[in-house]
Amino acid sequence: MVHHGELDLLKGQFLASVNHEIRTPLTGILGMTDLLLETPLDGEQQEYVSAARTCATQLMEMLNSILEYSSLSSGQTHMEESEFHLVQTLEIAAADFLQRAQDKGLHYVCRFDDQLPDYVYGDAVRLRQLLRYILSNSLKFTEKGEIELSAHTGAILDDHTMLTVTVRDTGIGIPREKLGLIFHSFRQLENGLARTYDGLGLGLALAEKLVRLMGGGITAVSEPGSGSTFTVRIPVKLPAADGSSEIAAPTASAAAAGESRILVVEDSVIAQRIVGHILGKAGYNVDFADGGTEAIEAAAVSHYGLILMDLQMPGVDGLAATTAIRQLPGYLETPIVALTANYSNEHRQFCQDLGMQGFLAKPVHREELLAAVSHFLK
């Protein structure tokens, strides 16, 4: 007889395995379609490739939602607290939806208060996820007009302030009597075979769970035919009053990041080509290792300013390779960042325990990858 604890463990292992096996080919599809869209295409070809990328993106979003829902429901999600650049984090989250908004003919506006602090303490990854759930919902239900993302902070109390982020759309709106249902899991306002909008009905429920974990709240105001406004309020901690910061502002180009070499450890040739293209086009000097053993050998003969490490590889995996590289001369403090399809909190914790300085989940967005590289090569 399988006990409840064992069942939860088996379920978690199954979801982690399915996640990795699905995310890896999807990462290749998304990356390769991005590369294809950068080549000369006629109108018909561009239409076909764009449609294929949209379908792959929708699959990835559903996968992310299911895994995030499972993690949040089981209480396994923990908020990290590290210093990050607030406006850049907001901009990265917003940038994911710019092209999709333009494709629908929508006016897409971002208004960030000039008084926003440069740096705050919190979980930048979870903040981006939260905004993506809300922005995705607004984009889904808005066929004409505009979507506006705005942010401001309130009064400073000791070393904390309240961050307020608002997403306003001109979409179909929500009947007043159904506003209380929109943050419930798997609830949609349409049911049956005649549904107009696809989806799992998890986006706003996940947003509400994340906001609560952050110690904040989310509200919605809406009228049918007049759009909706979602307001998130989250407490954030501010850096020391002397203006000192643990991190330097990310630079916009590789030139400002210096000439440090990057080692990308990845057993997938497709993933190598995608990451190599992004970093190479930005001007970075990149070498590749096909697995953990080759990564250790490369680090032993050359010094790299940054290592991007896949986790699940044949033979010596990324965690073992990281442990070995840390013992090499000059690599005790070298930034090693996980770049992996292993999305679970358990793997995040493994990476943190090994002293890896960052965690990027595939498929990593171009802006997110370049921002991370720029930060670690400061």
Same domain, residue pair 60 and 194:
no
Number of folded domains in the chain? 3
Residue 250 included in any domain: no
- Residue 250's pLDDT band (boundaries 50, 70, 90)? very low
Domain span including residue 53: 4-74
Q: Compute the distance between CA of residue 130 and CA of residue 350 in angstroms, rounded to an integer.
A: 24
Q: What is the DSSP string of 44-112?
A: HHHHHHHHHHHHHHHHHHHHHHHHHHHHHHHT------EEEEHHHHHHHHHHTTHHHHHHTT-EEEEEE
Mean pLDDT calculated for residue range 349-369: 82
More confident position, 68 or 301:
301
CATH number where 163 lies: 3.30.565.10
Same domain, residue pair 259 and 232:
no
Nearest to 154 by CA among 198, 189, 188, 113: 113
Residue 87 included in any domain: yes
pLDDT tens readout for residues 25-48: 888 888 888 888 888 989 898 888
Residue 144 included in any domain: yes
Same domain, residue pair 89 and 232:
yes
Mean pLDDT calculated for residue range 325-342: 88
Residue 189 included in any domain: yes
CATH number where 32 lies: 1.10.287.130
Residue 243 included in any domain: no
Helix 203-213 to helix 43-74 angle (10° resolution) is: 50
More confident position, 197 or 74:
74
Residue 360 included in any domain: yes
Lowest-pLDDT range of 165-174, 251-260, 307-316, 363-372: 251-260
The DSSP letter of residue 250 is P
The token pair that represents 78 in the structure block? 């923990």
The token pair that represents 159 in the structure block? 């070393």
Residue 138 included in any domain: yes
Same domain, residue pair 226 and 300:
no
pLDDT tens readout for residues 157-215: 878 899 999 999 999 888 887 777 777 654 554 444 334 445 445 778 888 888 888 89
Is 354:235 a contact under the CB 8 Å cutoff?
no
| Mean pLDDT, all residues of the chain | 80
Q: Which of 10-14, 227-231, 268-272 has the highest mean pLDDT?
A: 227-231
Give the model's pLDDT for residue 69: 66
Same domain, residue pair 167 and 264:
no
Residue 245 included in any domain: no
Give CA torsion, residues 175, 218, 93, 204, to 10 deg.
-50
Residue 363 three-state SS = coil
Going from the C-alpha of 319 to that of each of 48, 275, 312, 356, 372, the distances in angstroms are 39, 20, 9, 9, 20
Same domain, residue pair 91 and 145:
yes
Beta strands 160-169; 228-237: pairing state: antiparallel
Same domain, residue pair 214 and 296:
no
Same domain, residue pair 278 and 369:
yes
Q: Compute the distance between CA of residue 29 and CA of residue 341 in angstroms, rounded to an integer.
A: 14
Tell me which of 237, 270, 301 is where a domain ends.
237
CATH number where 357 lies: 3.40.50.2300
Same domain, residue pair 260 and 350:
yes
Tell me which of 74, 98, 123 is where a domain ends.
74
Q: Compute the distance between CA of residue 29 and CA of residue 18 in angstroms, rounded to an integer.
A: 17
